[in-house]
Amino acid sequence: MADKKEKEVKKEMVTVLIMGKAYKVPADATIMGAIEYAGYQIKRGAGCREGFCGACATAYRLPEDYKIYTGLACTTLVEEGMWLAQLPAIPAQKPVYDIEKLAADVTAFQVIYPEVFRCVACNTCTKSCPQDLEVMDYIQAAKRGDIDMVMDLSFDCLSCGMCAIRCPAEITQFNVGVLGRRLFGRYLSKESRQLKKRVEEVKAKKFDKEFEELMKMTKEELKKRYYARDME
């Protein structure tokens, strides 16, 4: 009986190379789970590890495949022979600008991100996106000054940077999306009654007592409060 169980465990394991070193990990594990199973800890702050979503970007190759694949470690499953490396932060151009001095049209992109007009529509950015967003389409929308479409198509972007590292025109697509969403929020979105009400409550110091209470809590107390909260 013990031998049978041992064979089943071995059958359910695969070999992956993490940062160049081989490890046996569960075959049904995500890349993040495999990394932690191997004894590593993702300290950069991935969203499901008390950080921000999009911080577990991964580049990997598969056996006898010349392509470099990309994905998020939290959602991509391991495969036999996978060779992977973590990219917790992607260096990217991030200009400083005053949204009040920009117009909600194509001139904003011409001034802040002129490189978008080098886009050759190769669609590599879209193919690289682990969220399957139509990245090239919102870059083309930015070239037309279509703020609504930039906002809509980039809305679910996690800013992991996978699109930028594969772009031959060296565009930082995810930051272009951020600009589009900010322009939409500042100039084109309809007024939110709920938001207006909450801003008034903040100004009236309605939440000051609760905020002070949270600031005095230990990390463990905060975690307990966070996981005990009502979730939809």
- Cα dihedral sign, 141-156-200-213: negative
- pLDDT at residue 21 tops 70: yes
pTM: 0.73
Per residue in 179-196, pLDDT (tens digit) is 999 999 999 998 889 989
User: What does the pLDDT look like over 62-104, one tens digit per residue?
Assistant: 999 998 888 888 889 999 999 998 877 788 888 999 999 999 9
Question: pLDDT averaged over the chain?
Answer: 88
Percent of the chain residues past pLDDT 90, beyond the cut: 63
Rounded to 10 degrees, what is the CA torsion of 136, 137, 142, 143? Answer: 80
> Which runs of consecutive H residues, i.e. helices, occur in the chain?
2-11, 31-37, 106-112, 124-128, 135-144, 147-154, 162-166, 173-183, 193-203, 208-215, 219-227
Task: Name all domains of the chain by residue range, CATH numbers in brackets.
Answer: 12-86 (3.10.20.30), 99-188 (1.10.1060.10)
